[in-house]
Structure 1
């Protein structure tokens, strides 16, 4: 099996396992495992533990939704393992000052219902993303567009957003500031096209079912049994359809990871994650790669919440044993994290981690410091008994999430003596509760939208659309804003690193947990299965199944 993997997340010394064929598990797969029964069609099926929250491109705020949408949507560009290619746009040019991008669409682009794709569809998609009436949770990503923040805050109309159609085939985008990574951002579904007529017809139900949207990408959605499976079928009208070899992609929702592995063994699915407790069993038959996800405990610092107290936040960071957590929860498959920004994103002249090594918190708990900070917090909160500090830990309702939460609960209660209660909800509910700040602590994470430290740091701007923690530091905001206008690459990165130091070293604004590394079982017939740490988990657009 030939498969390209891009998994150099930490350093070249971390080797990603690649294999030419499967052993015992692969040998159990039937010849029908990669075909829809009785049709001879090439179908690849992969599993997710939760149903994707949304297929609406402007309202997709999870990596599972983004990974699905890259198969159904042709944005202006396409990111294939870090290589930015033209997709709906055949070519583009950038003004000398780096502010204006002019994209020229290909001839003959069609939606799946036969309607022509035009520049207006892209303009409308971006306007919709930023329209405050739509309340798109991912609107913050559009702040890079000229007047993006002003539009989203209701200060000016959506017509004043820095995007317009010069004609049916030309999209002109003006930015607030130069951004060398914007060509990669143009591949994001949030900045992709949308059909005004269908949005107006279906409203909040747009893309909630196959018939409630149209598709201009390599595949179209043809079935979505919510909580069970989503099926995408090859789109013959996609401009590059000749390069698409698969007939169908099926996303199966399988909450229990061990059940998913059994399905892989039986030839029912082609790609699934190995639960960490089964790592050794499948070590020789699977592939490991870093996904780019940086997991952490987000802390609600809103006024009136216990974690608005900085000393309590520091107590949590020193009380946790990240090494033990990784062993108990992930069987040492993941990498313990001590910072926010992923080390492998691009810096001015190297990787960010090489340029700015940083370990603000220890891998193992420091009980003396933890109790020192806790004593200060108790004094400030007017609490005499640590157990009277009660924090709710929000997480999803999978078995893996439950195990994660129980380890954290045990560490915090043992090392600090505080009371931690676990609240488990569905993935969709968790996202909604994050947005409305109905939590104290929540296990969550982030995958970068582009290879730059700013992709992590912009989340926490005080008035940022995606700041669900209530974090607010004027100096942090100043550095993030100044970095966007600094033309010296090295000075800009210095600003971003200073911001990260403020966020963690001065404010202890979240609890870093882990850099996620997944272990995948993959059908040995699957070729050109691409993974990348920016914007999506994996890409099956150009995958194929060997005969």
Structure 2
């Protein structure tokens, strides 16, 4: 990493743990010069926001990743490399980072990208009035948590604009993956003059959605599409081959796949389960690694008035939650329902993160190949619900998608075998996100892909009051262990703190892991150099259409 050598965890990359990240259709000699350089990618959902500070979903982050660039970037691999910052000096104690910005980095409207733009963006994310779900990702910055929780001030933050091209950042403690964090959406720079003048609609107008990355917004069509074109003010524009990049928001999987087959779309994020096998054979479907976990979230923290008393009583019982976990036939789900090469989960942190010389997911909390009906029935009996008697009928919510529906129906049948009744309800993605966030659910479908290659990316979200803690889980010992892991610099000790935290999570069971994700995407064979990262991003920065 040029001047700076980051110790320990920064050396952990997915190239070691998962194999190389996916670069769809390596270019070779075909530069695509004779082809029309336009791509249309379907996100499979209506995007709630493309504000880097407020976004909390992968669909929005894919748009952001191609429109913005942080101090460091992860276009070519999931290890940070210089982006808007040409270099970074790190103090010997690992607490002070001095970023030196490129003098040729410009916004899409031609203005210079400055250190002030990063400072404004980070302070905006930490401002409690902003209510950013991902504010906790900036708690590594000195004073970040205190400011965000109302115990400190913006002036006390470890963020200093030395001059237009120099940003000094002081951390609470050494953080070996901090450069990777600066490539994350919440760390993207933003223009204060634009947002202050258009606080509520700056992301939907091409004249105000100013970006510093490879593409700039040309047109926004509500509930339909974002149309981007090449950003001629991008410092690395000569490497950008696409002239136009459109992000569609077609929710119906079958319609999207039909559009891919007839050439209206060049790639899609979600493939209908029934089309996966034939699509693989025809070359339209590609499966790649995804460092993530598909799971169900149980509402364990809401007040009585927010849930029916009988539902709250049941979900508050740890044995009920553990029974629901044991009664899922994960092998059947991945082989007969999901069919995308997924692996049955036996923990929350998925396979693929190597720490201290071994995969962190080396501990199996249950036999992922075993459908333990009798064990689940015993747990229900111990909870006072023999054969499910006395249990209320639970409501299981999922966001509208055929794959989610099929899995929910399978789980409904499995839970019926132990006497647990479930009604299914689907909601549109934007509504569903709010339901989970507000606690307006009993059991809900969930999924999480790593934001960076470290177990803490899965574990810190369940801290009490966390912005992404949709289960409303609260456990003081768990919080203490995560904070220790965040402060610890010794790899072995840090790994032990995280292991003990996951032990608590899997013992208390506010979530029910089902499988470890893969990415199943539909991609036109003419698409080249579109990188699908195991962290969930899809990068079009170097992509092009072959002839």
TM-score normalised to structure 1 length: 0.89
CA gap of 1:300–1:217, structure 2 versus 1, over 3 A, is same
Match among 111, 116, 120 for residue 116 of structure 2: 120
Q: Does the 8 Å CA contact 1:42/1:246 hold for their aligned counterparts?
A: yes
CA gap of 1:341–1:271, structure 2 versus 1, over 3 A, is same
Q: Which moved more, 1:128-137 or 1:169-178?
A: 169-178
Give the distance between the partners of 1:530 and 1:440, measured in 2 at CA.
37
Aligned to 2:542: 542
Aligned to 1:405: 408
Give the distance between the partners of 2:401 and 2:271, measured in 1 at CA.
15
Q: CA deviation at 1:298?
A: 0.9
Which residues of structure 1 form unaligned runs of 5+?
1-5, 22-33
Give the distance between the partners of 1:153 and 1:226, measured in 2 at CA.
34
Q: CA deviation at 1:172?
A: 1.1
Q: What secondary structure is seen at the aligned counterpart in 1 of 2:64?
A: helix
Q: Deviations 1:150-183 (Å, cap 9, x if unpaired)?
A: 1111111222222121111111111111111111
Q: CA deviation at 1:435?
A: 1.4
Aligned to 1:295: 294
Q: CA deviation at 1:516?
A: 1.7
Q: Does the 8 Å CA contact 2:24/2:531 hold for their aligned counterparts?
A: no
Q: How does 1:3-82 map to 2 (within 5 A)?
A: 41-80=36-75, 81-82=77-78
Aligned to 1:160: 156
Q: Does the 8 Å CA contact 2:340/2:520 hold for their aligned counterparts?
A: no
Q: How does 1:144-543 map to 2 (within 5 A)?
A: 144-272=140-268, 273-284=270-281, 285=283, 286-302=285-301, 303-304=303-304, 305=312, 306-331=314-339, 333-353=341-361, 356-360=362-366, 362-378=368-384, 386=389, 388-412=391-415, 414-504=416-506, 506-534=507-535, 536-543=536-543
Q: Does the 8 Å CA contact 2:120/2:190 hold for their aligned counterparts?
A: yes
* Root-mean-square deviation over aligned CA pairs: 2.5
Q: Does the 8 Å CA contact 1:395/1:401 hold for their aligned counterparts?
A: yes
Q: Deviations 1:429-479 (Å, cap 9, x if unpaired)?
A: 111111111111111111111101011000111232322212122221111
Q: What secondary structure is seen at the aligned counterpart in 2 of 1:378?
A: coil
TM-score normalised to structure 2 length: 0.89
Which residues of structure 2 form unaligned runs of 5+?
1-12, 305-311
Aligned length: 518
Q: CA deviation at 1:307?
A: 1.6
CA gap of 1:271–1:59, structure 2 versus 1, over 3 A, is same
Give the distance between the partners of 2:465 and 2:447, measured in 1 at CA.
19
Q: Does the 8 Å CA contact 2:65/2:537 hold for their aligned counterparts?
A: no
Q: CA deviation at 1:84?
A: 1.5
Give the distance between the partners of 1:398 and 1:385, measured in 2 at CA.
29
Aligned to 2:10: none
Q: What secondary structure is seen at the aligned counterpart in 2 of 1:144?
A: coil
Q: Deviations 1:314-357 (Å, cap 9, x if unpaired)?
A: 1101111111222342125322212111221231224323xx33
Q: Which moved more, 1:278-287 or 1:173-182?
A: 278-287
